[in-house]
A and B are shown apart, each in its own frame.
Chain A
Amino acid sequence: MMEKLSENIMDKVSIDFLRDQVLKNAYGNDDTPIAQLDPRVLLLWYLFFALVPWFLNDVVVLMGMFVLTAITTRLARVAPLVLFVFALGVFSQTGYMFVASLLFGGDMSTLAPLLVLTLKVATVSLASITVFSGLDPDKLSNGLLWFGCPERLSFSISFAYRILPILMEEMQNILLSYRMRGRAPEHDTFGGKVRWVIYQVKTIVQSFYPLMLNTAKRSRTTVEALELKGYRYAATNMKVLKIKLSSLHAGRREAVFAFVSAAWVACCFACPAALEVLL
C-alpha cells in the first residue's frame, strides 16, 4: 500500500489531475443553483448544519439531515476528488475507532453510537463541501469578510487559487528533475521496496529545498506588487470593505433555499413523532 501511494504521489499525472480537480472544483461549477446563492446565507446555513448534528442523537433525524446535505452536495456539482477525500476522511475519523473498540473488547453495542457519530461527521462534512466547494472562492471570501473574518484570510483564499497552478508546475518540474536524473532503487524484493519507499520520501523532502528558494524569489515580487497596489492600505479601510461587499445580495432565491432547508429539517424532527402516532 505504501508503495502504491508513493507511486501515486510521484506520478506527475496525479499532480496534474490534482490541480485540474481543485481548479475545476473552485471555478468550474459557478453556474450551479448553490453557487448562485448569497454566500452569507450559505455560511449561516453551514453554521446550522455544522453545529446542530452534534447536538442530536436520533438516527432518523440525522439520516434526514444527511440526505439533505447529500442532495445539496449533488446540486453543487463538486469534483469527484473532493468526494473521495470526503470518504477517506469519514473513514479515518470513525472507522478506525470502530476497529479499535472491537479489539478492546467491545461488541455490537459499540456499533450504534459509532453509526450516529459517523452520520454526524458525514453530515457536517457534506455541509462544508456544499458551501466551501460549491461557492466560487471570491464569493466565499466576500462572505467571510462580511462576517468579520480577517482580511488576511480572505486574501489568502483568492491568492491560494492564483498561486496553486504555478506552484504545482514548479513542483512537477522539480520532481521530474529528480526522476529523470536520479535513479530509484529496484523494487522487486522486499528490501528493495523498503529502500524504494525511503528513496521516494527522501526525494520529496529534498525537493522542498529548491522549491523553497524558488518560491521565496517569487513571493518577494508578489509582496512588492501587493504593496504597490495598496493591499495593506486597504486591509484596514472600511470603505474598501463596503465597496467590495456591495455585490452581496440576498433575495428571493435565498429565502426559498432557507425555507426548503428549514422545512426539511422540521419534517425530520417531526418524522419520529409521526411514526409513533401512526404505529
Chain B
Amino acid sequence: MSAVTLEDVTFTYPGAAAPTLRNVCLDVPEGDFLAIMGANGCGKSTLCKTMNGLIPQFIVGDLTGTITVGGIDAATAQIGELARKIGYVYQDFENQLVRPTVLDEASFSCLNYAYDDYIERGMRALDLCGLSDRAESYIWQLSGGQKHLLALAGAIALEPGVIVLDEPVAQLDPYHAQKTYEVLRDLNENHGKTIIVIEHHTDFIAKYCKSAALMRNGTIAWTLPAHEALQQLEDLEASDVHPPQIALAGRELKHAGALPQRAPLPTTVEEGFAAFSGIPFIPPADRAGSDEGADRTADAGGSSLSADPIVRFRNVSVSYRSVKGAPRRVFEGLDLDIQRGEKIALVGSNGAGKSTLMKLLYGLIKPQAGEILLDGAPTRGMGPDELSEKLSLVYQNPEQMFIKDSIRADIEFAMRARGVDDAAARTDELLGRFRLTELADHDGRLMSGGQMRRASLAIGIALNPPVLLLDEPTANLDIGTRQEITRLIADLRGVTDTVVIATHDMQLVCQFADRIIVLCDGEIIGDGTPDEIFMNADVVERSGIRPPEIFAMGQALDCSAACYTLDAFLGCFPAWQKMKEHGVAGERAGAPSFSPSSTRARYAHEYEEGDAA
C-alpha cells in the first residue's frame, strides 16, 4: 500500500518561465523512511508542498498530474481531511509556531479541527517527541532543538500517517539533530508512520533512512534503498550532495586496490569498520601528528608570550532576567584570555553560552559582575564607534546584516560612514574576493543561502577589524555551500588577525581552529588544540559535540588516530599512500589487476615503518 503517490506531476509558479516540477513520478510505500536529496533549488520543497495540498490550494500556479496521499486526492481534498493524513515541518520551523505555550501549540490543530480531546492529543504528541515535561513552558523558553521537536509535535498531533520534514537538522546542533532523528526513527518503527525528509546530510541518511531519492532539475532521477543510493557517488556529487566521507574513503581504497572492486561501499562507521579493519591502518602518531601539534603549539605559545591578550574576560558573571522566578545564571566568574592572532572555535550545545559570550564581547549584554578588557581597555563605557573599531560580528542570520537595498551599498556603508578614502575600490575588491561582483546590485536577502553568507562575511571584514566574531557561519547551508564557506573562512586566516567562531560544524572547526573552547552550561570544560579536545572522551561526552564522521571512523580503527579530513584519514593507509606516490597513471593501470591487497599492504606497511625509522 502506498502512503504517497505522485503521477506525472508538473508545477509552474505563477509568472515563472519554466516549471519547477517536471513530470515527477514518486511512490512512497507505507512505513518507508525516505530521504529526498538534491541541490538547492531543484524543487524539493515545492515537491513537499504539493503533497500536503498547500500547492495548489493556497499557492496558486499551474499544476498537472495527480497526487494521492493516504488514498485521497491532495489537490481537491478538504485541507482538514488532508491534514489528518500528512503533517509538515518547515525548515524555518521557528515561524511555524504560532501559539505562546508548548501544549497550546501542540494541540492547536486538534482544537481547530474540533476534537474534544484536543488536550490529550496534544499531550500524546508531546510525549512522542519527548517534550511532555515542557508542556507548560512558553515557546521562548525552549532551545532551538526543542522548538523543532515542538513543530514536529504540532504536525503529528492529528496523527497523520505521513510526516514530511524539510531539512530537519539544518538549524540544529549535532546533539539535537541526532535527537530529532531518534524521534523520527521511533515514529517510523514503532508507530508505523511514513516519514519523508529533505536531507543533505548523508551521514544521517546512512544511519536512519530506509530509502533515498535524488532530485535533479525538478524531477526524480532515481529512488533506491538508502544504502545503495549512497553508493552512487558520481550522481550524488553531480547534484551537490556530498556522499558520506566513509564511502569516499572506500572508493579511494578501491582505487588503491586495498578493497575488493565488487565490495559494496561502506556508508556508516560500523560498515566502515567491517570493511576497513582488515586493511593495515597506521595513524601517523609521531610524525604528522607531532608536526601539526608543534605547529599549533608554536602558534599559541608565541602569542601567549605577549603580556596583553586582545580580549580578556575577568571574573564575568551574567544572568538573564526571566519572566518568572529567579534570573537565569549563564556565566559565573568566567575567566578567559584570547591572545592576538588566535583562531578560536567556540563549541558546545545550544544554550551552553556561546551566543552570550559573543554578545558580551560585542557590548550587547553588560555583565553584572566582572569586566571585559578589549585590547587592555574595559568595554564598559565604550561607545559603539570605539567598539566597532576593534571588532566586528557576523550574525548567525545574515539577513540581519543587510540594511541597505544592495550588497554593494551594504559593504560600503561602514566605510562611507567613516569616510574611508578608497571605499569604492575596497568594496570592489571585497566583492571580487567573495565572488559577488555579479550580484553587487542585488538585495542581500533575496539571494541564495551561500551568497548571503558570502555577502555577510564581506560586510563583516569591510573595516578590517582586529577581532572578527562569526556566529554559526555555516548554519543552514547545504554541504556544498558549507564547504565553500569553510574554505573562504580558512582563507581569512591570512587576512584577519584574531577570529572567534561559534559553531556546531566540526568540519569547520577542524579546518580552521588552533584552539577550541568547549562551553557546557556556562562553564569552560575544555580549552586546547583540536587533538586535545577530540581525544578527550569526557569533554566530548559532556558537551555533546560530534567530531566529523571520518574522525570517528579513524578512532574506530585505531583509538590513537586523529584524522580530521579525508586525506588525513586515507594517509593512514599505507596502501593509499603507495598509490599516491605512484601517481595517477599507476592507479589507472594498476586498478583492475591488483593482487590480493593484503600482501601489498603489508609490504607498504613495512616500507612505511622502515622509512619512519
Kindly state whether residue A183 has any CB partner on chain B within 8 Å.
yes
Q: What 1/0 mask marks residues of chain B from 106 to 150 whose CB sits below 8 Å from any chain A CB?
A: 001101111110100000000000000000001110000000000
* A177:B400 contact, CB within 8 angstroms: yes
Partner of A243, one of B57, B95, B116, B399: B116
* A170:B400 contact, CB within 8 angstroms: yes
* A230:B385 contact, CB within 8 angstroms: no
Kindly state whether residue B246 has any CB partner on chain A within 8 Å.
no
CB distance from B365 to the nearest CB of A (A): 9
CA distance A20 to B116 in the complex (A): 35
Looking at A158, A184, A225, A226, the one whose CB has the most chain B CB atoms below 10 A away is A225
* A228:B54 contact, CB within 8 angstroms: yes
> Which of chain A's residues 2-57 have a Cβ closer than 8 Å to chain B?
12-13, 20, 23-24, 27-28
CA distance A219 to B80 in the complex (A): 21
Kindly state whether residue B99 has any CB partner on chain A within 8 Å.
yes
Kindly state whether residue A138 has any CB partner on chain B within 8 Å.
yes
Stretch of B293-301, B410-418, B578-586 on the interface side: B410-418
* A165:B400 contact, CB within 8 angstroms: no
Q: What 1/0 mask marks residues of chain A from 219 to 238 whose CB sits below 8 Å from any chain B CB?
A: 10110111111110110010
Partner of A229, one of B58, B108, B414: B108
CA distance A174 to B444 in the complex (A): 14
* A221:B96 contact, CB within 8 angstroms: yes
Kindly state whether residue B92 has any CB partner on chain A within 8 Å.
yes
Known contacts A180-B384, A182-B413, A206-B403: does B445 contact A214 (CB below 8 Å)? yes
CA distance A182 to B462 in the complex (A): 12
| B116 proximity list for chain A (CB < 8 A) | 243
* A239:B114 contact, CB within 8 angstroms: yes
Q: Count contacts on B: residues with CB < 8 A to the other chain.
A: 60
| B98 proximity list for chain A (CB < 8 A) | 158-159, 162, 222, 225-226, 229, 231
| B83 proximity list for chain A (CB < 8 A) | 228-230
CA distance A20 to B321 in the complex (A): 8
Kindly state whether residue B364 has any CB partner on chain A within 8 Å.
yes
| B387 proximity list for chain A (CB < 8 A) | 180
| A183 proximity list for chain B (CB < 8 A) | 385, 417-418
Kindly state whether residue A74 has any CB partner on chain B within 8 Å.
no
Contact size range, A? 35 or more
Kindly state whether residue A275 has any CB partner on chain B within 8 Å.
no
* B100:A181 contact, CB within 8 angstroms: no
Known contacts A230-B80, A230-B83: does B403 contact A177 (CB below 8 Å)? yes
> Which of chain B's residues 449-486 have a Cβ closer than 8 Å to chain A?
459, 463
Q: Chain B: which residue is nearest A20 at the CB level?
A: B321
| A166 proximity list for chain B (CB < 8 A) | 94
CA distance A249 to B493 in the complex (A): 65
Kindly state whether residue B281 has any CB partner on chain A within 8 Å.
no
Kindly state whether residue B204 has any CB partner on chain A within 8 Å.
no
* B58:A233 contact, CB within 8 angstroms: no
Known contacts A222-B95, A224-B54, A230-B83: does B400 contact A138 (CB below 8 Å)? no
Kindly state whether residue B324 has any CB partner on chain A within 8 Å.
yes
CB distance from A203 to the nearest CB of B (A): 9
Kindly state whether residue A240 has any CB partner on chain B within 8 Å.
yes
| B405 proximity list for chain A (CB < 8 A) | 209
> Which of chain B's residues 289-311 have a Cβ closer than 8 Å to chain A?
none
Kindly state whether residue B379 has any CB partner on chain A within 8 Å.
no
Q: Chain A: which residue is nearest B140 at the CB level?
A: A165
CA distance A182 to B100 in the complex (A): 35
Kindly state whether residue A253 has any CB partner on chain B within 8 Å.
no
Which chain B residues have a beta carbon within 8 Å of chain A's beta carbons?
Answer: 52, 54, 57-58, 79-80, 83, 88, 90, 92, 94-101, 104, 108-109, 111-116, 118, 138-140, 154, 321, 323-324, 362, 364, 366, 384-385, 387-388, 392-393, 395, 397, 399-403, 405, 413-414, 417-418, 443, 445, 459, 463
Chosen A-B contacts, 11 in total, with CB atoms closer than 8 Å, are: A28-B323, A158-B104, A173-B395, A177-B401, A209-B403, A221-B90, A224-B58, A225-B90, A229-B83, A230-B113, A234-B114
Give the 3 A-B CB pairs with smallest separation, nearest first.
A234-B112, A230-B112, A181-B414
